[in-house]
Structure 1
Amino acid sequence: MNEEELLQTQVQPLIDYFQQLLPLNKSEKQLVVNLFKPRLYRKRQYVLQDTDLCNQFNFVVRGCLKMYKIDGKGNMHIIQFASENWWISDIGSFYGRTPSELNIDAFEDTMVLQISYDNLIALYGQAPKFQRIFRVLIENSFISLQKRLLQNISSTAEERYEAFLETYTLLNNRLPQTLVASFLGITPEFLSRLRKKRINA
């Protein structure tokens, strides 16, 4: 297998993902191969650190990333997890070209396909279909964050936990209790009680 064939194989999961949204022609598939770059992040390695400019849009091929904020007391507040076939980026920093207030790191060894800001703008120009695709991705991200905000201000911890299980079905057994609790805004001890109550229900 030559280098081009290897790259095609690495990028194929993303091409398959795009194909589910809108069919791609041969030249559009080649643009994906040319502009998205595979990168492996080891466990605990940063993809993005606060105060840095977010320059990459990340598609997770395998593994798991988390995006979070550390407050003034050193507490972690998890905004999002991203596992296989999920996207993750600080959209405000990426599109606004402003320093990020968030961190993204690898919870597991994680393979991603990345596109830089400049290459994404080039992609829009060369194949306008991707403007439609990424508009859908951003809209879905906004809807997801809006739902999460509403849950945080109007739902019980038990309801938030049920929503987490529905959204992150594949991650429930991969994430430690401390990270799930941080995502839900509760203590690990309270999460343990919720889990026991759910098992015994």
Structure 2
Amino acid sequence: MMQNLVLKNITKHISLDENETAYFLSILKEKKYPKRSIILKEGEICKTINFVQSGTLRAFYRDPTGKESTIMFAISDWWITDMACFVNQQPAMLNIEAIEDSLILHLQKEDLDDLYLKIPKFERFFRIIMQNAYIREQLRIIQNLSLTAEQRYYIFLEKYPQIAKQIKQKQIASYLGITPEFLSMIRAQKNK
């Protein structure tokens, strides 16, 4: 089971032979996290990139006053990390928590670096993953600058219907950069 989902994810962009598959699977570390578990805490060195086998994760930034801003979500079949801190091996700026019971496959930074050397096609795979993430974030920034909160909410629902069903209204509001109360008003107008 563990192997099927992550291998399907990989083979969207590259093909692996039997030995490459075996090596890749051997360096993954599987771990279960109960709901509300912290997978990465701000200030810790970010040592892993994480594949969500099952469950839902949320990455968020906490400002000095304690206000949380959700940066991203990750559901089954998605990768997540604090990328800047992972690549540079610096203390994390983000927290990553399990929104529900989750099964995660961790890939350590040193193992990823070795993977690039031993199976260079993984550079292609992770380049594509990073490009897609960059494009998503760029579009999100443009939407935040050019669209109303209501428009952003409807785009979120259309683009991520499965996430919207699994997370709290407060977390959606945090992702959209609005208050839960304002989101309630938007939702009430939709239901009129």
TM range (shorter): over 0.9
Q: 1:12: Cα distance to partner?
A: 2.0
Any gaps of 5 or more consecutive residues in structure 1?
A: 1-8
Q: 1:141: Cα distance to partner?
A: 1.0
- Determine whether 1:182 maps to 2:174: yes
Q: What pairs up with 1:96-175 in 2 under 5 angstroms? A: 96-175=88-167
Aligned Cα root-mean-square deviation (Å): 1.2
- Determine whether 1:26 maps to 2:18: yes
Q: Which runs of 4+ in 1 moved over 6 A?
A: none
Aligned partners of 1:169, 1:155: CA distance in 2, in Å?
A: 19
Q: What is the TM-score of this pair, normalised by structure 1?
A: 0.91
Any gaps of 5 or more consecutive residues in structure 2?
A: none
Aligned partners of 2:68, 2:152: CA distance in 1, in Å?
A: 18
Q: 1:135: Cα distance to partner?
A: 0.4
Aligned partners of 1:84, 1:178: CA distance in 2, in Å?
A: 21
Match of 1:14 in 2: 6
Q: Deviations over 1:95-143 (max 9, x none)?
A: 0111111110111011111100000011111111100000001111111
Question: What is the one-letter code of the residue matched to 1:61?
Answer: Q
Deviates more, 1:191-200 or 1:167-176: 191-200
Q: Deviations over 1:164-193 (max 9, x none)?
A: 113321011211111111111111121112
1:199–1:132 Cα change, 3 Å: same
Q: What is the TM-score of this pair, normalised by structure 2?
A: 0.95
- Determine whether 1:95 maps to 2:83: no
